[in-house]
Amino acid sequence: MQESLLIPKIEKTSEKNFPLFGELANLEHEQIVFCSRPEAGLKAIIAIHNTTLGPALGGTRMWNYKSEADAVKDVLRLSRGMTYKAAISGLNLGGGKAVIIGDPQTDKNEQLFRAFGRFVDGLAGRYITAEDVGMTEKEMEWIFAETKYVTGIPKSLGGSGNPSPVTAYGVYMGIKAAAKQAFGSDSLNGRRIAIQGAGSVASHLARHLKSEHAELFISDIFSEKAERLAAEVGASVVTADEIYTLNVDIFSPCALGGVVNDDTIHHLNCHIIAGGANNILDDEKKHGELLREIGILYAPDYVINAGGIINIASEMEGYNEQQALEKTSRIYDTTIEIFKFAEENGVTTNVASNILAERRIAGVGRLGTIYSSKSHFSKRMGEMYLRDRA
């Protein structure tokens, strides 16, 4: 039979040519949304990982990615981390994240962020956004002009403002817990601590550490930021490469993720890794095992940097700063619990935290099979029984 010229021939394409869906399946994501508005300069990706415990909450990051593939990889890993972060922190929230591709120093404008807000609003509450790397309260206010599904808005508008101070406080609690585990005391007096990054979280963390008279070393890709923070807290400035090789007690990555990788891991000269960055381990399984083998204690990043999500979650209930800080202080106990579980079960600390988070997700998820009267009848004979998900 002659093949019709009117029907285009569809070539069979192997799955390896479409790695995106493979990654979605591998990381168990529910949904990924690509957002484009060329006239506003908007290129964004929203990833919803898991909504078992509640709507997906996670910040929007603006970064000048080297490639769109890097942006996709980042948003998938970050959103998955938010699921585990919310679960281990006892929050009734799922995990999501968004990235906007662009230079946060030069590409910001009102139209871009309001367009992004419209896309967030279109998800009708499945995803709730917040502030992340490259973003400020000003951009969150523009997003808020288009959607109610945003947190971390200025306090003048009834929000909680920049979550970085609370994030840093949680990292500080996690560092103290790690010191207790590794050294037998959570005092940081005289401890040598290297901070990678000099942004908002790193700056607030450095102030906490200064208050305990720790000896600080700071590095940032923007040298002037590192120098300003170092001058404030009495720290030493080191280069981007030197930060990995310093002989310190604690290495605290507070910039971008993937910094513990094949190139850096064997240069590390510290006892503890505990920082505010997300996805510090480039390969969770491989590098988690390697750290254990070389005797470096790793405080899982999504556990100790959860202060930000705790803070913005409290905003959704009616913000109370003291309550948010009190809840964030519990990161200390959660981190100790993870170290204990890892020891007792012979697993790495990142695996231990994953197991505990997954147990909560599975346990609460099973409750969804119990009918809870959130339903109604259509009141018409013969029509199907409808379940109300509102």
Q: What is the DSSP string of 174-223?
A: HHHHHHHHHHS----TT-EEEEE--SHHHHHHHHHHHHTT-EEEEE-SSH
**Residue-level pLDDT at 367:** 80
List Cβ neighbours of 19 (8 Å cut-off, separation of 6 or more): none
pLDDT given for residue 135 in this prediction: 92
Residue 167: name the closest of 300, 276, 257, 26 by CA: 276
Cite the active site residues.
97
In the predicted model, is pLDDT for residue 8 greater than 70? no
Q: What is the pLDDT of residues 286-312, one digit of tens each?
A: 999 999 999 999 999 999 999 999 998
Q: Which residues, at least 6 apart from 181, have a Cβ–Cβ distance to it below 8 Å?
A: 297, 336, 339
pLDDT the model gives residue 390: 40
What does the pLDDT average to over 78-91? 94
231/375: higher pLDDT: 231
The two structure tokens encoding residue 385: 């029984």
Examine the pLDDT at 6 and tell me if it is beyond 80.
no
Q: What is the rounded distance in angstroms from the CA atom of residue 117 to the CA atom of residue 4?
A: 46
Q: What is the pLDDT of residue 372?
A: 59
Average pLDDT, the chain: 89
Higher pLDDT, 248 or 372: 248
pLDDT band of residue 19 (cuts 50, 70, 90) is low
pLDDT surpassing 60 at residue 164: yes
Average pLDDT score over residue span 27-40: 92
Query: For the whole prediction, is pTM greater than 0.85?
Result: no
Question: With 0-12 CB in 10 A as exposed, 13-18 as middle and 19+ as buried, what is 216?
Answer: buried
Predicted confidence band of residue 197 (pLDDT cuts 50, 70, 90): very high
**Measured between alpha carbons, how far is 77 from 58 in angstroms, rounded to an integer?**
12
How many other CB atoms are there within 10 angstroms of residue 208's CB atom?
Answer: 19
Specify the DSSP class assigned to residue 244.
H
Please say if the pLDDT value at position 276 is more than 70. yes
Sorted by where each starts, the structural domains of the chain and their CATH numbers stand as 29-84+92-153 (3.40.50.10860), 165-342 (3.40.50.720)
Place 318 in a pLDDT band, splitting at 50, 70 and 90: confident
Using CA atoms, how far apart are residues 149 and 157, in angstroms rounded to an integer? 14
Sign of the C-alpha dihedral computed for residues 217, 221, 223 and 227 taken in this order: negative
